[in-house]
Chains A and B, each alone.
Chain A
């Protein structure tokens, strides 16, 4: 498999007092035809990373190769071959969908017919509508169409579905999957777990400017011990009172791993819930504890993040 994106020891420090180290030594390799996701909370350095790869920011140090080409030397050639969608762009409100796409198409040496780009994002009916009159989902699809109209080999999408309703998100996912099906490459950033699990062949979890874990969604989930998560709370433990349960006790249960307390409930990973659950139910009454709630679910990338950092993905800046 040939390489679409490669970066080594990428660093970006913004001048400020004190200086802000947005990216601190990030390595990444994305193969052609892959959909690669950068996953992490707001402020993790995802947007800085993707904008360096897009050639919009200059790295403080490190090397970047896009389709084997280099920023600073092959800029025009790279721009001909990539398509991007920024986190937020307000396209000209008084131009229609078709006019906007015709304008973007004119920038590229070769590309799609704007009509075809509209068809791919299901905006054909809105061809004559001003972009200012489009819904949020339609605007975002138009933004992606502007990225597709140059017929790129590589697509960069920065939080493509943030703030969209579930139906709009699914429409965008289908567009991205359709692009990938033509053996083309996608790099996207997101803080939605389900999006990463649904779209990405491989995911890198980014925290504080570094990749703290990388692999297929399944590999990452397996790496934390169990594919199932057991969550429970006990009646006596409400609020912030010191816990009468120690994590070590729970980890000692058969098949259980990575027990931790989050707020007033406990989570633990279980490879085989049919073994771990009966043991838990037996153990609690022995300690004079009454179960208040109990759920089990499949482990998600969110659990991977929590396990690796002890924080929730959307703890910070969840409003974005």
Chain B
């Protein structure tokens, strides 16, 4: 028999060590936690990288008396316009399928009387209309009355990718916390391991804390990898200090581990917990500003949207990464995240189903 009593902190440490060991011995889990978010960042980063401004505009010229004159005029700038002469039906079909941005017809053989056709809510078409019309006006003799030039200005922190990366970090913290905690907990419940633990003097709080804390420990390297990767691949820089960034990440991880625990606190099957998790996460995927600013949603919905944990987290991440804010400048956001995590944990502890 051991002569001295087990130290108070020992069960918590042992539970965390067990979780870490189980995780590190599961190669698939490592891929889903570390590999998958990176692949997703690569894919989304490439897809949403800022497009080159000098892009060829696909313009279709509809067969009409002045078609040849218009097509010839546009063909003078092949680097700017991709022109095809097509029958009206074909051209409209291509417009409908967004294969072209604009269809032009010239009922008059001189080409000096034009009809543009496009969907007025399509941004590319509006640009195409202006650029094509401008080019044709000058071609047929319009004189510019003022001189102007264009200077490129795209500072780091202001590009779409700079907006996107903090959103992806927030999404990673949400998914990792929810799935990591929720799935593991329900799995242990199904295996009756929770029931077995309950039959020992183990403190329940220790177990739930261990599940949450071990999740944190996985998330910090995950975030470090993503931030380093987006720095080298997309030139995304962290404007704020790293202590603030770590603080926001830890709080976000805590918040979503707590919510994950709450979501998993009663579920008896993996299917149930997956369903509840999607139900909880889906609104935040859409509303909380991963891909676009949540301010685009109507004013009445803003109080709710701004209170969602992922909105709070994404705002805090963007403030630190893009605007260089420090943790101390946003006490309200941090307290709200902390409250989400603590309340979820407290409720989970109370309603948790051990068998």
Contact = CB atoms under 8 A, between A and B. Distances in A.
A106 B1 contact: no
A113 B4 CA distance: 12
Contacts of B25: 94, 130
Contact of B6 (A94, A108, A113): A108
A112 B193 CA distance: 21
B1 A103 contact: no
A41 to B, nearest CB: 22
A146 B200 CA distance: 10
Interface string A98-115: 010011111111111100
Nearest to B9: A106
Contacts of A91: 193, 196
A82 to B, nearest CB: 8
B191 A104 contact: no
A237 interface: no
Interface string B288-312: 0000000000000000000000000
Nearest to A91: B193
A56 B355 CA distance: 9
Of B13, B191, B197, B201, the most chain A CB neighbours within 10 A belong to B201
Nearest to A149: B200
Given A56-B199, A84-B199, A89-B195, A106 B2 contact: no
A89 B6 contact: no
Contact of B199 (A55, A92, A103): A55
Contacts, number: 80
A111 B2 contact: yes
B14 A103 contact: yes
Contacts of B5: 109-110
B6 A109 contact: yes
B11 A107 contact: yes
B22 interface: yes
Contacts of A76: 201
A92 B198 CA distance: 15
Contact of A92 (B2, B13, B22): B22
Interface string B12-39: 0111011001100110000000000000
Contacts of A95: 18, 21-22
The 7 closest A-B pairs by CB, nearest first: A90-B191, A106-B14, A107-B202, A94-B25, A79-B201, A107-B200, A89-B196
17 contacts: A56-B195, A56-B198, A56-B355, A86-B192, A89-B196, A90-B193, A94-B21, A99-B21, A105-B6, A106-B14, A107-B197, A107-B201, A108-B201, A109-B6, A112-B2, A113-B2, A150-B201
